[in-house]
Chain A
């Protein structure tokens, strides 16, 4: 090998090594933790990202020398990704977290926050919805700061109602709110129509929801998944059977919800927007999308129907958690950022973005006003918060959720795999995921 070739080879090797390892070396050599950015993970679409970018910029302006490195991830796969990072000891300093997976990680990974040490934080927390604070507590310890949340209600597409009215030759009014499960089922049947008369349904009354969105219907039937202590499985008996039967009947008996094959590839939002279904269950995060369509100002949002118990929605909260396994400097800076997000200025931005209800109750009015005032869909979500119930979240939530979804789904499955509501409930109660996690009453 000539000297020139040898030199070229060495230069190339050095260049390659620098390209591969420069960041790592720079990170390791940077011992000054005070100037190193802390990592902040969150999910959302591009508009959420833009909102967080503004919030981070404002925080950095208020706290010079406390840079934040944004790590924007898609919601699907967010929790496993964060879990993998935490398990590998490489978790971000601050992370947005849903209340559903929260209890599983809280003890070991999230910093305990003592509001008694900070009067301003205590004041902000006192202004929060009680369920928001409770969602981020384990054993009475606060391990996350609530950010915003959402409940779910029934969205009604007025164009689909008009089509059904034209088809039947009579008025079909949008529901007003105080209605029963029977009225809901009747309306869904009226809205299910074969417009062109070819024998196939062109418009369905309702989109069969995933089980967490169906949970308010289960509650309306008087059934519950867990008892108050959240240790005993209670989704058994006639009320639970009626709830499962109602779910199955919508599809199998009344045919008011599309089969998976009929809406293959479409989620409830797409099916609703395209007019394929007249009603669907979703949350305030759907409003900004609808407001960019010609349905703006015309669609209606109504509460869940009443059954054995009054219809009540379920509420879910997102919060910011501080990684307990990062340096004290990073923890302190992460906590400062989390507190900043709970201030009125930032909470007002969430209210104006209309994607979620701010954790601070004093900003609910701002949320309603930004959404169009007292008769708007935003007002319906704000009203529903008064009676909203928390989900039966435990550290077994993820497994439980999959099990409930699978067994509830088996009541509308095609072919031999379909189970009766009673069999599905029994199979669910005997599912190893449920039997391992919860106590049960046995005959």
Chain B
């Protein structure tokens, strides 16, 4: 047996535990879930479940509640991806040249170590429109500015209603995006790792050629960051589309369904309306949608993302 063949055989054994785990934990439930989605199981009596074929999937086409929930998830996800990655990139650029880089990176990543439920509830209190510190600070700031301006004869210079955050249809999703900025440390680490791997020689060469800071960022740094950007966009987008904890905890009647995300709709279909099979069909549809989005994004990314800059100067 040749040496490479031996190594390949060994590799299989190393990968085997993960493959077996994946097959047992994901593959089997997925196949079983697909089968159950073609029944009318109510989550109680499996022996009474009847075969309905693709009825649950065709019903999805006319399900306006699910369509609305998907739209809500999509609107939130797009805003969340944009805001979170913008902040993450800015933090990474700041941290890259900081004196205590590791220390700052740790600080910004720390929120990821905290319990999700606890932090959502704390945020909900911070953004409480009547007793939350955020609105109190805003009210104090407005009062102070108005007081200052009143002394020079300008009355009621700032006359705005304070945001209702999670208690209004328009404010709920932006509030959730604001809360998610707290977790920008995760994508920041990916950006930071990518930034630290960029080839400084290219940037130095561009600087010698007279390229300004902005030009260097867009033409030199950004192309090298694109693989990390694609990874971050996809992972944050998928995580946003699958967001459940916060809408589950923070939904209220004042939002007019703004936080009725696809995952929450699926949960309610299963555990409140007792339509387990239909909920499975909704889950599979969501998975298919995300798969199409991810594969589409990866294919599109091939056009403009380069993964190897090592020969940039030698060519």
Q: Total interface residues on B, using CB and 8 Å? A: 25
A415 to B268: give the CA distance in the assembly, Å: 26
A333 to B40: give the CA distance in the assembly, Å: 35
A210 to B98: give the CA distance in the assembly, Å: 53
On whether the beta carbons of B44 and A414 are closer than 8 Å, the reply is no
A355 to B50: give the CA distance in the assembly, Å: 44
Q: Does B281 contact A (CB under 8 A)?
A: no
On whether the beta carbons of B124 and A265 are closer than 8 Å, the reply is yes
On whether the beta carbons of B128 and A433 are closer than 8 Å, the reply is no
Contacts of A413 in B (CB 8 A): 253-254, 256
Interface size classification for chain A: 20 to 34
Contact partner of B274 among A84, A263, A398, CB < 8 A?
A: A398
On whether the beta carbons of B164 and A261 are closer than 8 Å, the reply is yes
Q: Does A57 contact B (CB under 8 A)?
A: no
On whether the beta carbons of B169 and A264 are closer than 8 Å, the reply is no
Digitize A79-93: 1 where CB-to-B-CB distance is under 8 Å, 0 elsewhere.
010011011000000
Q: Does B130 contact A (CB under 8 A)?
A: yes
How far in angstroms is the closest Cβ of chain A from B260?
Answer: 10
On whether the beta carbons of A261 and B168 are closer than 8 Å, the reply is yes
How far in angstroms is the closest Cβ of chain B from A221?
Answer: 22
Query: Which B135-175 residues sit within 8 Å CB-CB of chain A?
Result: 164, 166-169
Contacts of B166 in A (CB 8 A): 264
A87 to B271: give the CA distance in the assembly, Å: 11
Contacts of B65 in A (CB 8 A): 432
Contact partner of A80 among B129, B130, B271, CB < 8 A?
A: B271
On whether the beta carbons of B44 and A109 are closer than 8 Å, the reply is yes
Q: Main secondary structure on chain A at its contact with chain B?
A: helix
Q: Does A409 contact B (CB under 8 A)?
A: yes
Query: Which B169-184 residues sit within 8 Å CB-CB of chain A?
Result: 169
On whether the beta carbons of A402 and B254 are closer than 8 Å, the reply is no
On whether the beta carbons of A264 and B167 are closer than 8 Å, the reply is yes
Query: Which A399-443 residues sit within 8 Å CB-CB of chain B?
Result: 399, 402, 405-406, 409, 413-415, 417, 432-433
Contacts of A109 in B (CB 8 A): 44
Contacts of B254 in A (CB 8 A): 259-261, 413-414
Q: Does B12 contact A (CB under 8 A)?
A: no
**Who on chain B is nearest to A417 by CB?**
B256
Contacts of A262 in B (CB 8 A): 130
How far in angstroms is the closest Cβ of chain B from A82?
Answer: 11
A385 to B167: give the CA distance in the assembly, Å: 37
Digitize A387-405: 1 where CB-to-B-CB distance is under 8 Å, 0 elsewhere.
0000000010011001001
A105 to B43: give the CA distance in the assembly, Å: 10
**Who on chain A is nearest to B131 by CB?**
A265
On whether the beta carbons of A409 and B253 are closer than 8 Å, the reply is yes
Contacts of A87 in B (CB 8 A): 43-44
Contact flag A108-B253 (CB < 8 Å), given A265-B124, A399-B272: no
**Who on chain A is nearest to B64 by CB?**
A432
Contact flag A260-B130 (CB < 8 Å), given A83-B43, A399-B273: no
On whether the beta carbons of A264 and B274 are closer than 8 Å, the reply is no
Q: Does A163 contact B (CB under 8 A)?
A: no
Q: Does B35 contact A (CB under 8 A)?
A: no
Q: Does A124 contact B (CB under 8 A)?
A: no
On whether the beta carbons of B44 and A264 are closer than 8 Å, the reply is no
On whether the beta carbons of A414 and B168 are closer than 8 Å, the reply is yes
On whether the beta carbons of A399 and B253 are closer than 8 Å, the reply is no
Contacts of B272 in A (CB 8 A): 398-399, 402
Spell out A's residues near B (CB within 8 Å): 80, 83-84, 86-87, 104-105, 107-109, 259-265, 395, 398-399, 402, 405-406, 409, 413-415, 417, 432-433
5 A–B pairs (Cβ distance < 8 Å), ordered by A = A80-B271, A84-B271, A262-B130, A265-B124, A399-B272
Interface pairs A-B: 6 shortest CB-CB:
A260-B254, A409-B253, A417-B256, A399-B273, A265-B128, A261-B167
